Amino acid sequence: MLNNNHIEIIKSTIPLLESAGPALTQHFYQRMFSHNPELKDIFNMTHQKTGRQSVALFEAVAAYAKNIENLGALATAVERIAHKHTSFNIKAEHYQIVGHHLIETLRELAPEAFTKEVEEAWTEAYLFLAQIFIDREEELYQLREKATGGWRGTRRFVVSEKRPESELVMSFVLTPEDGGKVLDYQVGQYLGIQVTPSKADNVEIRQYSLSQAPNGSHYRISVKKEGKGTEQQGLVSHYLHDEVEVGHAVDVLPPAGDFFYQESGKPVVLISAGVGCTPMQAMLQKLAEENKTDPVTYLHACENELQHSFIDEVETIVAAKGWQQNVWYRSPVNLDGSNNSSVGLMDLAQIKDTLPIHFGEFYTCGPVAFMENVVKQLEALGVGRDRIHYEVFGPHANL
Ligand code: HEM
C-alpha cells in the first residue's frame, strides 16, 4: 500500500519522468519488445512505427503520479483505458511485464536519480495503479462472459456480408461460426478484430465501431480504407477491404468502449465527420427502434457525395421519424445542391435555431481537428461540456 513517503517521492520525481519525454517511451518499448516479442501481437505495431501510441502509457502514468492524492480525477480515463485494454484481451500477467520494463527503463535512463527509495516508491505506485486496471478489466471480462451470447477472449466469426457504403468505407457483417447468439452492446461501442494481414509480421488487433443496433445474431462493422496500406498506414483496413471476402473467418473480441448513447429523456444531436458516422448509425437505429419521442438531429460532414456513407439508410430512418438531418460537403462533386446539402465545413451557427442548445445531449465522432472545432462551436453557442460526449478513433486525445 502507498504511504505518505512514497507519495512524496512520486511527486518529486514527476519532473524526471516528464523531462525524459520521448526518449523514455522509445527506450521502454524497444526494451519490452526485444525481451517480450510476444507482445508485438498485442500492441498496434503501426502506431509503434509512427510513434503515435508510444506516449499514451507514459502520459497516463504521469497523470496518475500528479493525481496520486486525488485518484477520483482519473476515473473517466481509467474507465476508457480499461475498456480499450479488454478489447486487446490484456491479462493480469501482462501488467507484471509492463511494470518490470517500466522500472528497468527508469533505472537505465536515470541511474543516479533512481535510488532504492525511488524504485520502491515507483514499484508500489505502479502495482497500485495496475491493480485498479486489473480489477476493473476482470469485472468487464466476467460481465461479458456471463451475459447471453457472451464470451471471453477471441471467438471465430465468418464474414456473411461485405458491402461498400461509399468510396472508402466497407461494411462487414460478422456471424459466429458456432451458430450461437451474440452479446448485446451499447450503441456507440466498438468491436475488437484480430487478424494476420498478408503483409504483416504479427497478429494485428484493431477496433471498429459497431455500425448497427444490436440484434442478438450478428455484428456489423464499417471500415475506412486508410492511407496506402503500408506498415505505416492502413495495413489492416487494406487487408480487410482487398482480401477478406464473404466466407472468410476472423477472430473477434467482445464489444467494448465507454462512449455510448445514454437515454436521458432529452433531445439528441448526433454530429459526425467522415467515418465517424459509424457509431452514429448504431445510435440512430436504436433511437428509431425505441421510438424516441424527443427530437433527434443528425449532422454529418464529409468530403463529397462519393465519400458519404449510409446515405439511404439514414434517409429512410430520418424520413420515417420526421427527424432533422443536415449534411455538409467540403468539396462537392455536384454543385447543384440537389440533395439539400451545404458546401464547406460544418457551421453550427447556420442552424443554431433548430438545435436544442440549452438542454440537448450532443454526441460527436470524427477526426480530432473536426471534433475540436465542433466542441468550440457548441461551447460558443452555450452548450455545457457536460452535455458533449465524444469518441476518438485511435490513440485518445483530450478535446
Ligand atoms: C498501469 C499500466 C498501464 C497504463 C497506465 C496504460 C495506459 C494506456 C493508455 C493511456 C492507453 C491509450 C488508451 C486510449 O487511446 O484510449 C493504452 C492503450 C493500450 N494499452 Fe495500456 N496501459 C497499461 C498497461 C498495459 C499493459 C499491461 C498492456 C499489455 C501488455 C497494455 C496494452 C495496451 C494496448 C495494446 C493499448 C492500445 C495501444 C495501441 O493501439 O497500440 N497496457 N494503455
**DSSP state, residue 230:** B
pLDDT tens, position by position, 66-123? 888 888 888 999 999 999 999 999 999 999 999 999 999 989 988 888 899 999 999 9
What is the pairing mode between strands 219-224 and 296-302? unpaired
Beta partners for residue 172, in sequence order:
162, 221
- What residue's CA is closest to ligand 1, atom 4? 57
Average pLDDT in the chain: 92
User: Across residues 364-391, what is the average pLDDT?
Assistant: 96
Fold of domain 4-146: Globin-like (1.10.490)
Residue 386 CB: number of other CB atoms within 10 A?
A: 7
CA dist 56 and 63 (Å) reads 10
Mutate to test the pocket of ligand 1, among 33, 80, 85, 96 (most ligand atoms within 8 A of CB): 85
Ligand 1 pocket list (CB less than 6 A) = 39, 42-44, 47, 53, 56-57, 60-61, 80-81, 84-85, 88, 90, 94-95, 98, 129-130, 133, 395-396
- CATH top-level class for 268-392? alpha beta
Q: How far is the CA of 256 from the centre of ligand 1 (A)?
A: 15
Q: Is residue 392 marked as binding?
A: yes
* The ligand 1 atom nearest the CA atom of 126: 1
Range with lowest mean pLDDT among 109-113, 234-238, 241-245, 251-255: 109-113
Place of cell 501488467: 95
Query: Which tops the pLDDT comparison, 396 or 44?
Result: 44
Q: Is 10 helix (H, G, I), strand (E, B) or coil?
A: helix
Q: Is 40 helix (H, G, I), strand (E, B) or coil?
A: helix
- What residue's CA is closest to ligand 1, atom 21? 57
Contacts of 219 (CB under 8 A, 6+ apart): 157, 173, 174, 182, 191, 210, 212, 252, 255
Same topology, domains 155-256 and 268-392? Answer is: no
* The ligand 1 atom nearest the CA atom of 56: 10
Fold of domain 155-256: Elongation Factor Tu (Ef-tu); domain 3 (2.40.30)
Q: How far is the CA of 98 from the centre of ligand 1 (A)?
A: 10
Q: Is residue 393 marked as binding?
A: yes
Q: Is residue 395 marked as binding?
A: yes
- SS3 percent helix, strand, coil of the chain, rounded to 5, is 45, 20, 35
Q: Is residue 272 marked as binding?
A: no
What is the pairing mode between strands 268-273 and 296-302? parallel
Where do the structural domains in the chain lie, given as residue ranges? 4-146, 155-256, 268-392
- What residue's CA is closest to ligand 1, atom 13? 81
Looking at the annotation, which residues are catalytic?
95, 137
50's enclosing H/E stretch is: helix 45-50
pLDDT tens, position by position, 9-64? 988 888 877 777 778 888 999 999 999 999 999 988 777 766 555 667 777 887 88
Model confidence at 2: pLDDT above 90: no
pLDDT tens, position by position, 307-336? 999 999 999 999 999 999 999 999 999 866
What is the pLDDT confidence band of residue 233, given thresholds at 50, 70 and 90? confident
What pTM, to 2 d.p., does this model score? Answer: 0.94
* The ligand 1 atom nearest the CA atom of 81: 13
